[in-house]
Copies of this chain bind each other. A is one copy, B any other.
């Protein structure tokens, strides 16, 4: 599973409007083959900053399946005008995942 990570710096007086638009935009990304789930989180230290995390089955599900689809312009139209500066988008593959299970620390590869 590939994780898309984008730090979104939103124009400060537009955060409420952005959150509303983000909900409207969700179906456009979620209709993509290879889409698993996505979440929006807000930064505690810098409140106009968000992080978008999208789980994809493959890198190409995002870079080709979504970005080259007829749905991507709809996503852009709803969201891209809120960003300043325009975000860097990166993709991350799993290395290790740790969690406690019955007081043992369990490690998996991703």
**Which B residues are in CB contact (< 8 Å) with A38?**
97-99
Chain A stretch 69-110: residues in CB contact (< 8 A) with chain B: 90-100, 105, 107, 110
A90 to B43, CA, bound (A): 7
Q: How many copies of this kind of chain does the complex include?
A: 2
A41 to B46, CA, bound (A): 23
**Which B residues are in CB contact (< 8 Å) with A3?**
41, 51
A41-B95, A42-B95 known, 8 other contacts, Cβ within 8 Å: A5-B5, A22-B96, A23-B96, A26-B98, A40-B97, A41-B93, A43-B90, A43-B92
List the 10 closest A-B pairs by CB distance, nearest first: A41-B92, A37-B99, A39-B97, A40-B95, A44-B91, A26-B98, A40-B96, A30-B105, A42-B95, A51-B92
